[in-house]
């Protein structure tokens, strides 16, 4: 599928702030499943953009606005061509034992705890119950996804961007980011390398998918010998060509679309406005 995305985030401050420095992870991933045809970032107040690749190979654009300003607008637009990563079938048939024998250094960071994810005894017990007797890595990950979808309530505004997985485990509610963290915790407790994915979800007129037309989050599990595969616990679906991948990392902290700092009075940010349009341009 081919999409045109326009994504604008605007921060409004109640008093002038200055010396703002920001890092953006807003550039969709180009790989053998998706091809980015056009990408442009623009910020206001006008600033010079630069970029680096972080530890997870995400494109990070950064800029600073030294002079006092009352609002900050960040616009990302792109044209992207996606294909379904599952077009050749599901990566089933890989046994749990291979997770230990085929351990790749690259996936080690995605096995333990991270900022928003703990591999705690509670989550391990939950993981064991969900896995049941299943010995297939990908199928077990699928079972975790179903379990979260069935037993956790989608409840916008009950959590924040900094809600920890352990709280989600307890309150049994949240949004895409929380479900992703929870799924990461459960899968890692089972020894499956799992990473966080931030991106967009195209939903067309199909309103049953959650997080549609908004920034979305899901996970990818690493199946030894097969690679990373996406699963979306918020919607109980495999991440397919409707999922536009932007950044990956151990959890939200590694993949946050916008992080920044400025000098200003406490509670200076009075409003955050997000405008997101994902338009399909093929068919």
Partner 1 sequence: MSSLFNDYQPGKFFDEVFSAPGAARSHYEALLSNVGSLTPGDYSSLQKAVDAAFLKMGVTFTVYGDDQGTERIFPFDLMPRIIPQREWERVEAGLIQRITALNLFLNDIYHGQKILTDKAVPEELVLSASHYRPEFKGVKVPHGIYIHICGTDLVRDDKGEYFVLEDNGRCPSGASYMLENRHAMKRAFPGLLQSLPVRPVDTYGTMLRETLEHLAPKGVLDPTVVVLTPGIYNSAYFEHCYLAKQMGVPIVEGRDLIMRNDRVFMRTTKGLEQVHVIYRRIDDDFLDPLVFRKDSLLGVPGIINSYRKGHVALANSIGTGVADDKAVYALVPKMIEYYLDQEPILPNVKTYLGIKKKECAYILDNLEKLVVKAVNESGGYGMLMGPSASKKERSDFADRIKANPRNYIAQPVLQLSRHPVFVDDHFEGRHIDLRPYVLYGDRVRVVPGGLTRVALRKGSLVVNSSQGGGSKDTWVLWDECSDKAASTQLAA
Q: Is 277 in the site for partner 1 (CB under 8 A)?
A: yes
Q: Is 89 left (phi over 0), alpha (psi -120 to 50) or beta?
A: left
Q: Is 117 in the site for partner 1 (CB under 8 A)?
A: no
Q: Is 60 in the site for partner 1 (CB under 8 A)?
A: no
User: Closest separation between CB of residue 274 and partner 1, Å?
Assistant: 5
Residue count at the site for partner 1 (CB under 8 A)? 43
Upper half-sphere CA count for residue 37 (Cβ side, 13 Å): 10
Q: Is 68 in the site for partner 1 (CB under 8 A)?
A: no
Hey, which residues between 154 and 193 contact partner 1 (CB under 8 A)?
Answer: 156, 175-177
Q: What is the dihedral of CA 75, 77, 82, 86, to 10 degrees?
A: 0
How far is it, in rounded angstroms, from Cα 247 to Cα 240? 16
Q: Which of 12, 16, 30, 75 binds partner 1 (CB under 8 A)?
A: 75
* CB atoms inside a 10 Å sphere around CB 170: 10
Residue 209 makes CB contacts below 8 A (sequence gap 6+) with 201, 203, 235, 237, 242
User: Closest separation between CB of residue 129 and partner 1, Å?
Assistant: 28
User: Closest separation between CB of residue 216 and partner 1, Å?
Assistant: 6
User: Closest separation between CB of residue 258 and partner 1, Å?
Assistant: 10
- As to burial, measured by CB atoms within 10 angstroms (0-12 exposed, 13-18 middle, 19+ buried), residue 54 is middle
User: Do the Cβ atoms of 25 and 58 come closer than 8 Å?
Assistant: yes
Hey, which residues between 140 and 159 contact partner 1 (CB under 8 A)?
Answer: 156
User: Closest separation between CB of residue 28 and partner 1, Å?
Assistant: 14
Q: Is 93 in the site for partner 1 (CB under 8 A)?
A: no
Upper half-sphere CA count for residue 109 (Cβ side, 13 Å): 12
Q: Which of 46, 121, 266, 267 binds partner 1 (CB under 8 A)?
A: 46
Q: CA torsion sign, 251 to 255 to 152 to 221?
A: negative
Q: Is 129 in the site for partner 1 (CB under 8 A)?
A: no
Interface contacts to partner 1, rule CB under 8 A: 6, 8, 37-42, 44-46, 48-51, 61, 75, 77, 79, 156, 175-177, 204-205, 210-211, 213-217, 234, 274-283
């Amino acid at each position: 599928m081919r999409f045109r995305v326009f994504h604008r985030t605007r921060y409004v401050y109640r008093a002038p702030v200055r010396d703002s420095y920001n890092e953006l992870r807003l550039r969709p991933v180009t790989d053998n499943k998706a091809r980015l045809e056009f990408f442009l970032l623009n910020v206001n107040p006008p600033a010079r953009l630069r970029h680096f690749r972080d530890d997870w190979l995400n494109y990070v654009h950064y800029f600073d606005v030294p002079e006092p300003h009352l609002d900050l607008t960040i616009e990302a637009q792109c044209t992207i061509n996606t294909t379904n990563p599952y077009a050749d079938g599901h990566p089933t048939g890989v046994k749990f034992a291979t997770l230990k024998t085929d351990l790749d250094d690259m996936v080690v960071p995605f096995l333990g705890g991270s900022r928003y994810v703990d591999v705690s005894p509670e989550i391990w017990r939950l993981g064991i119950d969900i896995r049941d007797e299943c010995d297939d890595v990908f199928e077990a990950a699928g079972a975790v996804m179903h379990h979260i979808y069935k037993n956790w309530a989608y409840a916008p505004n009950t959590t924040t961007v900094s809600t920890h997985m352990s709280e989600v485990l307890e309150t049994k509610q949240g949004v895409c980011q929380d479900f992703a963290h929870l799924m990461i915790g459960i899968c890692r407790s089972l020894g499956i390398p799992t990473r966080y994915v931030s991106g967009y979800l195209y939903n067309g007129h199909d309103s049953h998918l959650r997080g549609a037309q908004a920034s979305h989050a899901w996970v990818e599990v690493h199946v030894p010998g097969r690679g990373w595969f996406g699963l979306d616990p918020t919607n109980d679906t495999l991440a397919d060509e409707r999922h536009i991948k932007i950044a990956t990392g151990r959890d939200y902290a590694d993949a946050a679309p916008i992080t920044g700092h400025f000098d200003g009075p406490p509670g200076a940010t009075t409003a955050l406005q997000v405008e997101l349009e994902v338009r399909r341009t093929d068919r």
